[in-house]
Amino acid sequence: MKIKSFKFIGQILTVGSILAVSALPERAAAQAMSPMRGQVKSFTDFFVLRVYPANPYSHRVRMEVKVYDQDFRPVRARVTPSQFTLGGRLARPVSVIVPFAGTKNRKVRVCTEAVPFPTQQKSATTIRAQVCGKFLGVRVN
């Protein structure tokens, strides 16, 4: 008898969680980028990543992709495209070329930032949402 009651409580909690998440406003949607981590092996003086920033909102968003080291200091990497506008509920590929800078291993963070559009309204947001993935480049030779 107790097992059935626990099962029933679990079902209620599951349904309640689904309803709560679906009731969240659109502004609470999480920004996304995939993959969020990875390891790349390279035979050259640089390694290449391909990430896919995504816009979870129904309206277009301006985005920037930046590369930092593991301590969040900027890295001179080549990002193509580094700035773009992304339509609602879409994702796009972005290529990132990171130099090893004389090291055999290099840890970097590739970050996607949603940049607010300039506006004349005082109520407009100026918050830059940021999501970062961790990547390790390993030089083979």
In a domain, 71, yes or no: yes
Residue 75 lies in a domain: yes
- pLDDT (mean) for 103-112: 96
Element (H, E) at 50: strand 46-54
Number of domains in the chain: 1
Confidence band, pLDDT 50/70/90 cuts, at residue 128: confident
The whole-number pLDDT of residue 75 equals 97
Residue 15 lies in a domain: no
Q: What per-residue confidence (pLDDT) applies to 57?
A: 83
Q: Locate 15 and state its tokens.
A: 């349904």
CA distance 127 to 141: 43
41 token code pair = 């092996």
CATH number at residue 80: 2.60.40.10
Instruction: Give Cα 55 to chain centroid, integer Å.
Output: 10
The answer to the question of residue 45 being in a domain is: yes
CA distance 12 to 24: 19
Any domain includes 13: no
Whether pLDDT at 26 is above 70: no
Give the integer Cα–Cα distance in Å for 105 and 134: 13
- 132 is in which domain, residue-wise? 29-139
Does 63 have pLDDT greater than 50? yes
- pLDDT at residue 14 is higher than 50: no
Does the pLDDT at position 10 exceed 60? no
- CA 27, CA 102: separation in Å to the nearest integer? 43
> Which amino acid type is present at position 100?
F
pLDDT score of 31: 67
Question: Does any domain span residue 22?
Answer: no
How far apart CA 80 and CA 84 sit, in angstroms, is 10
Q: Which of 48, 98, 49 is nearest to 69 (CA)?
A: 98
**Burial (CB count within 10 angstroms: exposed 0-12, middle 13-18, buried 19+), residue 109:** middle
**pLDDT band at residue 56 under the 50/70/90 scheme:** confident
Better-scored residue on pLDDT, 15 or 87: 87
What 3-state class would DSSP assign to 35?
Answer: coil
Q: Are strands 37-42 and 129-139 parallel, antiparallel or unpaired?
A: parallel
> Does 120 have pLDDT greater than 90?
no
| Residue 21 counted as domain residue | no
Q: Is residue 120 situated within a structural domain?
A: yes
